[in-house]
């Protein structure tokens, strides 16, 4: 487990404000960006949301 910090919550809040409906996805993305640890997801919609919103998604790996 990686503890959340204020920066993670701020990024996650921004994602939710922009329309991301899954708080856990928002926290996963935010924590991954801060720590530099690659995140793995099966949620293709998350990556589409990030890319369409102009968010850098190179820290995310999609398992299909």
**Which mean pLDDT values do the consecutive 10-residue runs of the chain (64 residues) have?**
93 96 96 96 96 95 94
User: pTM of the prediction?
Assistant: 0.90
Query: Which backbone phi and psi does 39 adopt, to 5 degrees?
Result: -105, 145
CB proximity list for 51: less than 8 A, separation 6 or greater: 57
Token pair 């398992």 is found at 63
What's residue 1's pLDDT?
A: 83
Rg (CA), the chain: 11
């Amino acid at each position: 487990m990686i503890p959340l910090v204020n920066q993670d919550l701020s990024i996650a809040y921004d994602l939710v404000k922009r329309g991301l409906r899954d708080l856990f996805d928002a926290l996963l993305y935010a924590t991954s960006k801060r720590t530099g640890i690659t995140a793995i997801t099966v949620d293709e919609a998350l990556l589409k949301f990030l890319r369409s919103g102009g968010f850098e998604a190179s820290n995310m790996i999609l398992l299909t």
